Structure 1
Amino acid sequence: MWAKNLRTAGRRLAEIEARREQGLPVGSTTGALTEERRDALEAIDPSWCPAWPVAWQRCYKLCRGVIEAGAALPGPGEATVQGEDLGAWVQAQRLGWDALLPAQQWMLEMMLGIGPADPDERPPAARTQADKWAANVRAARQFHGREGHLQVPRKHVEMVDGVEHKLGMFVDNARRRADKLSEQRRQELTELGMRWAKEEA
């Protein structure tokens, strides 16, 4: 809340100064950051910007302090300063580079030596439900091809290309949720000899 109020006050001061420069009436200065307060904040950190999140600027300032002390920027979990995991913050900036403003990118590059993450550093994209279904059906086909049926023990794990698939759980869940599956998905499993709960009753 404090950070939001500070940003609002900073924007209000900027609006007032812009109106003064244009020769327009200023109106009320209520809610604006005073020039003294702004000067005090700039004395602490000349790169302070009222429009940016205070948490971002705090971590930036702490990272600058680390560099100015002659240390390298840490990786995630390697250094906590004033309660901030600076390595995790640096990683978040690199991974979220495109969401940063150009001025923030410039500050990170020029002052901290931080740039965007390389493509191979990015975490893999989350698999969609369709991806998970397709992977489990591949495992079911492999099991069926080897065993000739789809009566999979509940705890059975099927390895496909070095990846474990909890096939028993998948088949059991599909059977329980048969009425919620699309016709196409039901057909895929039926072709593999799936014994649906209603048929077994």
Structure 2
Amino acid sequence: MPITTTRGRETGLAYAGELSQERMEALDAIDPGWAPDGWDVAWQRCYRLTLAHVRAGGTLPAAAAGELIVQGEDLGTWIAAQKAGWEQLTPAQKFLLESVGVDTADGGEAAVSGRRSQDERWAVNLAAAHQFHTREGHLRVPRKHVEAIRRGGGDNGEDGQETVVKLGAWIDNTRRRAAKLSPRRRADLDELGMHW
């Protein structure tokens, strides 16, 4: 049953973001691989980011967490997880990973835990919040603000890797999920004068 908008027009969608059967068939005719069964959006996103990175001349990380973060995705952690779960991947997924240079010879190595990855992402976002607070004196970050931070500089004078954080969106999302934050994470932001 089509859903109508407030202006009386039919959208043809049961809920926002759902494609009609007709549109899905049209996309299948163009590219049968546009939405493979069993491949979640996160897997496809990480693969596409990895592909773009390799095509731009980048090298794959040595499966170290935090070594390669692109658009907020830790590709080192993701690649390690793919290697660890190699047997559960479809033949097409294996082919795609091999085509971008994922070395499966060490596929038995343990994946970095997802919890650690979340903690690392929190640390990067919190570092951006600290930098913003130090510079601006407050944590009233505009929703679309991005903050560039430097991480991992060494003793030899190197600046380290620059990471771009969508700080405004992170602050806004964190406020919305305040009830789910651990006391430590909430305290981290309270120290910066977070307005809940």
What's the TM-score, normalizing by structure 2?
0.39
Greater radius of gyration (CA): 1
Q: Which has the higher helix share?
A: 1
TM normalised by structure 1 equals 0.38
